[in-house]
Amino acid sequence: MRSWVPMAVIATAVVVCQGSLARAAWMSDERVWRMTAGAGDDDVALLAVAFAPTFRTTVPASPEKLSGLRRELRGWLAAVGTDDDAASDVLLACGEAAANAVEHAFPEDPGELTVELRLSADRRLTLRVTDTGQWRRVPAPGDRGRGLPLMRAVMDSVLVEPGEGGTVVTMQRRLARV
Amino acid sequence: MSEKDLARVALERHGDAVLARLSGEIDLSNARAVEDQLTGGLAGSTAVAVDLSGLSYLDSAGLALLSRLAGRLAELSGSLRLVVPPDAFVGRTLSISGLASAIPVDETVEAALAALASG
């Protein structure tokens, strides 16, 4: 006898899978087990859809916001499954890009910075840090010379695009499966 | 978490040397405050060991702090040693930045203090 999976169950699975690959994998296992429980030796087809996990947050471009940003990012990196070295690298690259945005912002009108991450199905992580505040024409004094080389050392690619309204930093890094 | 709670600096005197244990996170927001606490606690000592094993984050502002401290101590004919165990969170950042090859690194506090005492 053939078992039919009701469409409602598939729809539910798709909705629940959104957000994290780790959770999607876990949900799929659970669904397969439940749906095939009465199927005996019949063939069962299951359509599993996992959305690319994404992260997006916007905070004021102020120094005291950096630690909260890292905390959020750590949680997301753990949820998508990242080994310790890669998590530390992504955190550092993001932290440096965000710190650059903070350091170039006017203290009296810091504007905002947005951090976006997207992990593709082939585990390619794209990290984008965008600031929407005004920028000083002259870099702020300090020791920010180390930031960019660090970002380049830990990511596969780093693209810095200064624009009229601010700067967009786009970085990529391939993550191992864990 | 406020900037004040982000990192902690604990200073201990060991003979002529000072051991500074840093814990928490050091970034752009608190690097200057950490530096002030650290240098303010040296009380004339130029033999300094900084234990980084309790740090969970160190950015380029923190690396610059360590580099400035090393430079200042060198000018005074003193020395700085970093304590970085193999499993330290910030070990990777230190080696990537090249700072770990510019400042002597020990795996334990005991090794750093022994090196300072004999130096």
Q: Phi and psi (nearest 5°) for A56?
A: -150, 130
pLDDT digits (tens, 9 = 90+) for B11-34: 999 999 999 999 999 999 999 999
CA B22 – CA B55 distance, rounded (Å): 6
Rounded mean pLDDT of A73-94?
95
* Domain assignments of chain A as residue spans, ordered by start: 1-51, 54-174
Any A CB within 8 A of B45 CB:
no
What residues in A contact B57, CB-CB < 8 Å?
A: 67, 70, 91, 95
Q: How many domains does chain B have?
A: 1
Q: Are A102 and A62 in contact (CB under 8 A)?
A: yes
On average, the pLDDT of chain A sits at 79
CATH superfamily of A54-174: Histidine kinase-like ATPase, C-terminal domain (3.30.565.10)
Confidence of residue A13 (pLDDT cuts 50, 70, 90): very low
CA A96 – CA A20 distance, rounded (Å): 25
User: What are the structure tokens assigned to B112, written together?
Assistant: 């750093």
Q: Phi and psi (nearest 5°) for A159?
A: -125, 120
- In what helix (H) or strand (E) does residue B58 lie, and over which residues does it extend? strand B47-58
* Domain boundaries, position B98: 3-118
CA B91 – CA A88 distance, rounded (Å): 10
Confidence of residue A103 (pLDDT cuts 50, 70, 90): confident
Interface test with B, best of A65, A102, A143 (most B CBs within 10 A): A143
Question: What predicted TM-score, i.e. pTM, was given to this entire model?
Answer: 0.80
CB contact under 8 A, B89 and A92: no
For residue B72, the domain's CATH number is 3.30.750.24
pLDDT digits (tens, 9 = 90+) for B34-76: 999 999 999 899 999 999 999 999 999 999 999 999 999 999 9
CB contact under 8 A, A146 and B28: no
Angle at B80 between CA B44 and CA B109, to 5 degrees: 105
Half-sphere exposure at residue B47, Cβ-oriented, CA atoms within 13 angstroms: 13
